[in-house]
Every structure is written in structure tokens, then in C-alpha cells.
Structure 1
Amino acid sequence: LFLCCDAHTPPVRQRDSGLHRLLSIHRTPRVTTEPPAPAPAPAPAPAPTPSTMSSPGATSIPLNALAPKRKTKKKHFVQQKVEVFRGSEPVLSVLMWGVNHSINDLSQVPVPVMLLPDDFKASTKIKVSNHLFNKENLPGQFKFKEYCPQVFRNLRERFGIEDQDYQVSLARSPPLKDEEGQRVGLLLTSYERTLVVKEISSEEVEEMHNILSEYHQHIVTCHGSTLLPQFLAMYRITVENEDTYLLVMRNMFSRKLHVHRKYDLKGSLVSREASFKEKVKELPTYKDTDFRNNMQKVYVSDEEKEKIMEKLNRDIEFLVRMRIMDYSLLLGIHDVERAEREVEDELESSLEEEDGDENGLTPASVSASPEGIASSMNSSKPAGPGEFDPYVDMYAIQSAVGAPRKEVYFMGLIDVLTQYDTKKKAAHAAKAVKHGGGVEISTVHPEQYAKRFQEFIAKIFA
């Protein structure tokens, strides 16, 4: 018979504190209709207390009667939490947790005067087991590994990114998924669109280790003026015995200027046309054949073209030394006139929403100012479409005066972790047999790939 204790009932004074917690009474006890069980053998009853005397129908419950029920409830509670966790995004949660942990630890370590060879092989690991805090978002067990933390810390500094801003950009709000991508792995963008997080393979992690020392020296030599990706960090996240490798880079596109058309150019015309499925997307990625068929051109001044080709040639020399191939030029185009029309349409729609809202508040009027890396971008706010800060949008180039269309171009090299190995040699031989030796195929020797790539890029300018 279960009875509840009234809040005003005097406390029960028992020698056995465990039995005291199980004794409970109520002022109006419930009466069961079950027939009474046979009377057990007489046993010495406990001394009466004020609480038991005030409720003549109260009975005590043996301690061992509730033990199995308490165990069952505890198991059921743990199963509920596992189900809640599986419905969330564990990799993203561990990434945010790991970035916080890493930057906080690095802030306690003095910046080295110079990097040593061991820094390019170093890593930090942390294993979390039986994690009980924030179980709705974080798994109970996970591992987080950061590769070469001092090297990437130095690279972030050379690219003008403060660790605290980097931390806020990735850990303040969850990164956004690229819903339209065809990639097998994750492709994420920080919530303020300044960073890109790309899932890579274990082979690409190995290749990054192979080139990291030379890459760092290349960035030092060119003072950060490069078309190569700006590598900022590399992590391994282990959840449920599955490893996920993530590479963090600066976003080549602008966080403020919308890209209306983009191309992935390799300098080859074999199987280099966007599929129909790709073309129906809101922002498709066109390829070399599409670039020629659309008669697309890049309208920049001769001075800008010379700067671009100087960077490109210097970067490609580095890639050839590293035996890297199969890279692409990512070209994004911002149409200024189209952007102006979009701004006018948004302004009209926002005015209509304000008229219909009695409070006069719209999401734009109450949105918070950006934080993290984006906070440093507010010092020189663009006045309108087509204007940008070259110290922030490092891959952006303004179209020349007198160009047919006023545009902003974003140009950078991507996919630079493919080394010319046995697989590429076999792929080159197979394509040469299929298409003929004189056809421009993408899988060729690094030197040949670089020469063809440079010649193609030089022709995209008007």
C-alpha cells in the first residue's frame, strides 16, 4: 500500500535512515478492496512515531521490495538519453566542443619564437568517457584529435585571423550544412560564412602532413598572398568508433556579396560538362565545357590580370614540386546589377512586412551583429552591391572599368591534396586508351597538368 507524505507532517525519527526515506503517509489514505493476506508470523513492530499515529491506516514498505523497480527505472532513463543523442548531430557538437577546448588550451601556451620540425608531426588528443554534461548534444564517449596545433596557429596568424575570432566563428553557433552538394562527406560553412569545414579522407590527411612544411614555407615566402586554400586547422573526430577527418579553410567567397554563377575549371574538355541534375540547382557548378559554350570571360584590367597570373604561376610551381595534380580553379561571379535589383526587391518586401506588422519589427531589424571573424569585417562596411574590403575578401577582384558587365570575381585554387601516385597513373593510362593519347584528359603528369592548366586560365581573361 503506497501512501504519500503531506508537506506538514512532522518528520519521522527512525534509526534506519534508508527505512525512513521509504516510510510515507497521507492524511487521507486510499483503501484497497483486495482481501487481506494471511497474517505473517508475529514480529516486533517498530516504535510508533507521531507521523504514524496521526494516520491510523498507514503501513510501512520493506526496503527490498523497491530495489528491482529502482534498477529498472535507471536503465530506462539511460536508454531515453541515448535515443535523444542519436537524433542530434554528434560530429558537429564534438567539433564545436573540440574547437573551444583547443583554443582555450593554446591560449595558455606561449607562442614559440620559431617552429621546430617536431611541430609538423605533433598532435593533441583527448578522450572523453562517461560524459554526463549536456547529454542532449554531446555523446557519452568521443575522441578529439588536433593535428599540428602550433603550425596551424602560426598559419592563422599569417592569414590575419585571431584565435578568439576563429573560436567564436566555429563554436558560437553550429556550422551550416551544404544541402546542395554532391559530396559524399560533410561540407560545412560557419554560421557567418567566413570559414569552410570540409570532410577529407585519411589519405588526404597523410598528404597534408607530407606538404605541410613546404606549404608553410610557401606562405611565409609570399607573405600570405596566394590563390591556394588558406588551411587553418585539421581535426579527427571519433564517435561510435567511426573517424571523421575535417579540414578548416577560409571561405573563398564573400559573406556579403552573393555569388550568382560559379565554375570549376581544370583545363580539360573530356567529361568536363555539368550534368543536367547539377544545372537545375539554384547555384550549379559549371565546368570547362560550359565555360566555353557560354562564351564566359573574366573582365579585369591588365594590371589585375598580371597580379593574378603571378600568384597563379608561383602557386603552381609549388604544386608541381609537391607532385600535386587534379586541382581546379574555383571561379565565382557576383553580378552587381542583379544584386542591385535583389536589394530593391528585398527592400520593397521588407516595407510591406513592416506595414503588416503592428510592432514594425522585421527579422532584419532585430538581427544581431556578426561576431567572430566577421566582427573584424564591420570596420569597413561595403556601401552597396559590388563593393568589398580586399583585406577581408582576399580572393575577390573587381571587374575593369568599361567592362560589358559590372562584376566581382572570386578566384582560388581548390582540391590541392591529390598526389600523382599509382592510382592516377592507372587512370591516365585507361583514359588515354579510351579517348586517345592526344585528347585533353585531366589525369596527366603533374608537369603536363600544370602547363595545360596555366594556358587555359590565361585564356579566360578578356
Structure 2
Amino acid sequence: SPPPSAWCSALPSWSRGTLSRRLRQRWKLLGLFEVDQQHELYQLTSLMKEGLATACPGPPRGEPADQDYRSEVTHTHTAFAMTTFAGPVFASLRASLGISQQEYFQSLCWENCFLQFISNSKSSADFFLTNDKRFFLKTQKRREVRFLLDNLKTYVEHLRSYPHSLLVKFLGVHRIVVPCRWKRYFIVMLSVFYPDDRISARYDIKGCEVSRWTDPSPEGDQQVVVLKDLNFEGQFITLGQQRSWLLLQVDIDTTYLQRLNVLDYSLLLGQQTLQPDEQLQVLSLRTLIARTKSLVPGPVGPADLQAQNRRLLPDLKNPLHVIDGPEQRYFIGIIDIFTVYTFRKRLEHLWKTVRHPGRSFSTVSPQTYCLRLCDWIRDHSK
């Protein structure tokens, strides 16, 4: 098969140029900024692309071995070096999600610029989307990357046990080093909000109230603003028969995060109004398919479907994070799972208890955080 660098130039130059011009103005309207040569982060994204183009580990060969979880492969380039962590494990995970090596690296290494997303998060991380907005890249601190790699095996086992999990899908972990200048860790994830062309509202939900309001965009302004818990008050996630599935899966996923001693994660929620013909399709089981793809090949029986809390997935590009209700399509995923309940977080909890008496805030014990988010979903769904 051709190398990833060849995949990046698979599209004809006139097609790439026409598409870029057509989308650039729309990106600006949506609050996405093209990381072009004048952008301060252009060098970083260029090195990301160049490094990723040579980071392909080859097609996965069976189930990852123990040593694959500890794998560190470094490729040295002219001005930098890039290390890929646990490459065979993430290659296997991508394959289980139906993402081919070619489409993955072509999307990441396409010559058109990444898009920078300006988050309202307190994090100092940089956020990027690939040109097609299918994959999300985020710079991470070393301790966050180490936490993910230390728990990667249990993460993969969780996705194997619950193939329709709502947890964010990690697809790659890398480090770029420019000698004597700087070092950056970054992760690649599947975007929860994909495809996003008709999403009308986006929310970041933590199940609490302190600092959980964001001023919406002025009427007529198309800029992307991620709203929060208090913005959602008075609304419901209307799923009908699929509500019970959502409640159980959120409980399963957050219980796993509780075992990792994690808090402060978010439930991403996107809303899209279904067209009349789409509403009719939702009513027809003929348009739904029972996806049985998972990390473990083989037949899946009725007992497995129930034990793994599988559901009928819509035949869409991003089925694991899309749930259709009678009138609305919802994009749902659990992200930001790197905050551990350390001694420092315990002190922060005590300080916030004094500062915000009688109010709910994000820094609480993992058990409380888990139960509270599940309660929020239960109270805001029907």
C-alpha cells in the first residue's frame, strides 16, 4: 500500500484549492480559524502533519500484546523528532472503529491547514480540527499523557466490553521535540460533533452550577459557542425508547471513570433538528443497523448484546456518538477524562465549599461527580 505521504496528495490540486476557498469564509463565520503561515501555531501544526505522515505503524496484526502498550517509536526529521506511543494499540483501536489507515492519515496529513478552535475552557491547551473536521487534536501536559498511557489497557478493555461506549475515542498519542527549543505532547481523537454542518447548539455539561453559564452568540451570529449547564435549563434530551439505553451507558462509563479516580470530565451534547424525511426514517427499523464491530472478532449473540449494552446504531458517519430522538438528533460523548482527584483537588474542594456555600461546583469526589452527572442526565431527559 502507498505510504501516508502519498495519501496526503491523493486529491487533485485544483480540487483542494477550490474546496479551500469555498470553506475559508464559512470557517471564519463559525469561529474556526485557519492555521495558515501567518498563524502563531503554524509551525506546530506543520510539524504535527510531517511527523504523522511517517508515523504509520502498518496495519494491525491481531490483538495488541503487552509490549505494544509500552511501545515508543521515534522518527527523527530534519528539524525535530516525533515519538508515537503505543502505536499498535491505537492502530488496532482505529480498525475496530472502522477507520482505515489510509483515511486516517490522509485526513490528518492533507496539505490544507488545520483549523484552530478557540475553546472557552480554562485549559491552556491548544485545540485543532482536521480540515474535514472529523478528527480533533489537542495538546496535553506530560502527566495527562502518562495517565492515559498508564490506563490505556483498562480503557481498551472498557471499549471491548462496551463497544457502544460514549467515552471519547482516543486514536493516537504523540510527542514532538524541537531540540533546544520546545517539546509538545498531543493526542488525536474522534470528534464527537461530526459531521457538524447542521448542529444548531452545542453544550458542555458537568452537572453543576458554579461558572456553568456562557453568553450565547448574538442573534444572527453563526459563531460556534459551546454553552453550559445553566444554558440548558428548561430543555430536555428527548429520546423516547432510547432514553433507558442512554441512562445505563452514562452510568457504565462514569462508573469506569470513578474507578480511575477521575473527576471534572464533561458530557458533550449537540442538537440537530431532523428533517421530516429523517423523522420518518427514525420510525423505520429498516434504516437502522445492528453494528457488532468491536475489538474482539467473532459472532455476537443476544446475551452479548444485552451484557455489552449495545443499541441499534444509525447508518451515519459517526454512529457511536449519534442518538436520534423523534424530532432531534443528538451528538453525545464524554470527554476530558484526565483530572485525577489528588490531594490538591481535595484542598480545592474545601476552598470552594467555603466560597460557594449551598451551590454545586465541579471539584468534588469522583463518586459524587459520577452520581451527580447521572442524575443530571436522568433529570434532563425523557
TM-score, scaled to structure 2:
0.74
Matched, 1:288 2:208: no
Task: Show the counterpart of 1:235.
Answer: 174
Matched, 1:456 2:379: no
Cα distance 1:174–1:238, how it changes in 2: closer, same or farther (>3 A)? farther
Mapped partners of 1:144, 1:278: distance in 2: 42
Cα distance 1:276–1:306, how it changes in 2: closer, same or farther (>3 A)? closer
Contact map agreement 2:72 2:83 (CA 8 A) in 1: yes
Q: Which amino acid aligns with 1:116?
A: A
Structure 1 unaligned segments of length 5 or more: list them: 1-83, 132-140, 341-387, 401-405
After TM superposition, where is structure 1 displaced by more than 3 Å over at least 4 residues in a row?
84-88, 110-114, 275-281, 390-393
Contact map agreement 2:271 2:331 (CA 8 A) in 1: yes
Task: Show the counterpart of 1:127.
Answer: 76
Task: Show the counterpart of 1:394.
Answer: 320
1:101 is displaced (CA, Å) by 0.7
1:261 is displaced (CA, Å) by 0.6
More strand by share: 2
Q: Which amino acid aligns with 2:332?
A: M
Mapped partners of 1:87, 1:441: distance in 2: 35
Deviation string for 1:50-106 (max 9, x for gaps)? Answer: xxxxxxxxxxxxxxxxxxxxxxxxxxxxxxxxxx99988222122112222111xx2
Matched, 1:102 2:58: no
Mapped partners of 2:64, 2:41: distance in 1: 39
Mapped partners of 1:285, 1:120: distance in 2: 34
Q: Which amino acid aligns with 2:347?
A: A
Cα distance 1:408–1:210, how it changes in 2: closer, same or farther (>3 A)? same
1:423 is displaced (CA, Å) by 2.1
Contact map agreement 1:173 1:191 (CA 8 A) in 2: no
Mapped partners of 2:269, 2:200: distance in 1: 11
Mapped partners of 1:421, 1:277: distance in 2: 36
Contact map agreement 1:229 1:413 (CA 8 A) in 2: yes
Task: Show the counterpart of 1:160.
Answer: 98
Task: Show the counterpart of 1:309.
Answer: 247
The equivalences for 1:60-459 within 5 A come to 89-103=42-56, 106-107=57-58, 111-128=60-77, 131=78, 141-182=79-120, 184-222=124-162, 224-239=163-178, 241-255=181-195, 257-275=197-215, 282-292=223-233, 295-302=234-241, 304-336=242-274, 389-390=315-316, 392-400=318-326, 406-436=327-357, 438-459=358-379
Deviation string for 1:2-41 (max 9, x for gaps)? Answer: xxxxxxxxxxxxxxxxxxxxxxxxxxxxxxxxxxxxxxxx
Mapped partners of 1:219, 1:271: distance in 2: 32
Cα distance 1:263–1:182, how it changes in 2: closer, same or farther (>3 A)? closer
Q: Which amino acid aligns with 1:423?
A: R
Deviation string for 1:269-325 (max 9, x for gaps)? Answer: 122111478997722111111111xx12111112x1112122211111211111111
1:121 is displaced (CA, Å) by 1.7
Cα distance 1:431–1:86, how it changes in 2: closer, same or farther (>3 A)? closer
Deviation string for 1:174-212 (max 9, x for gaps)? Answer: 453234434533211111121111111112111112211
Q: Percent identity?
A: 25
Contact map agreement 2:134 2:194 (CA 8 A) in 1: yes
Deviation string for 1:191-237 (max 9, x for gaps)? Answer: 11211111111121111122111001111111x21100010001111
**Whose RCO is larger (CA < 8 A, sep 6+)?**
2
Asked which structure has the greater CA Rg, the reply is 1
Structure 2 unaligned segments of length 5 or more: list them: 1-36, 279-313
Mapped partners of 1:296, 1:454: distance in 2: 16
Aligned residue for 2:348, secondary structure, equals helix
Cα distance 1:297–1:163, how it changes in 2: closer, same or farther (>3 A)? same
Mapped partners of 2:197, 2:38: distance in 1: 37
Task: Show the counterpart of 2:281.
Answer: none
Contact map agreement 1:270 1:441 (CA 8 A) in 2: yes
Cα distance 1:85–1:316, how it changes in 2: closer, same or farther (>3 A)? closer
Mapped partners of 2:340, 2:134: distance in 1: 28
- Cα-Cα RMSD: 2.8
Aligned residue for 1:394, secondary structure, equals helix
Q: Which amino acid aligns with 2:324?
A: Q
Contact map agreement 2:136 2:189 (CA 8 A) in 1: yes
Contact map agreement 1:175 1:189 (CA 8 A) in 2: no
Deviation string for 1:394-427 (max 9, x for gaps)? Answer: 2112222xxxxx3211111011111111221111
Mapped partners of 1:291, 1:244: distance in 2: 35
Cα distance 1:320–1:127, how it changes in 2: closer, same or farther (>3 A)? same
Mapped partners of 2:323, 2:140: distance in 1: 29
1:242 is displaced (CA, Å) by 0.9
Aligned residue for 1:289, secondary structure, equals helix
1:124 is displaced (CA, Å) by 0.7
Cα distance 1:308–1:257, how it changes in 2: closer, same or farther (>3 A)? farther
Aligned residue for 2:257, secondary structure, equals helix
TM-score, scaled to structure 1:
0.62
